[in-house]
Structure 1
Amino acid sequence: MSFIQVIEFDTAEEKEEELRHLLDEWRNALGSETTVTHTTLTRDHKRPGHYVAIVEFSSREEALRGGDIPRTDEMAHKVRELCEGPPRFINLEVIEEEDA
């Protein structure tokens, strides 16, 4: 089954564009080396500066393999520098999926 990582973090709203640029740069740098199948970056309308990234993988093993790629670690350090406090990670193993 697939695996989803949810990452919650806070950053100043004026840093959003820089954050998005870093994520685009990372995706482009990884190219076919990526283990990510889908990403969604969201902004919380009730909490300015609060963001949630939803990153999907085909399996937990692929998520772990992706985390071992040096470019991923470099990007994570750069993103953390933009954050106000440490990000919160939620690792979810999908046990059932259904299309609406």
Structure 2
Amino acid sequence: MKHASNDLMAIRELNLSYLQFAQRVLASSREAAVQLGLSTQVADALARLSPAQLAKLASSSQLLCLFRLGPDAMLGAFISRNEEPVRSRVLGDAATETSVL
């Protein structure tokens, strides 16, 4: 039961962080609603929620945010980010070998 309680607490914290983030972004740019995957009506309602209302909404046992990256996009981003150090080492070694010649 302790794991379930920890999981629910983690979901609540993630939900609250997401809702606060979304509110901040929407306050500066309503166009951000599209990037967040929110309809205009939901974005307007979210922007008007009080901190107490955000906390209550965050207490849901389900994640309120949606991860919209497909597995290919996630894997591609991970690979390209992790290839850079390898690419640097390879190019660095090649540059060293070239300078020796």
The structure, 1 or 2, with the larger RCO (C-alpha pairs under 8 Å, 6+ apart) is 1
Q: Which has the higher helix share?
A: 2
User: Which range, TM-score by smaller chain?
Assistant: under 0.3
Larger radius of gyration: 2
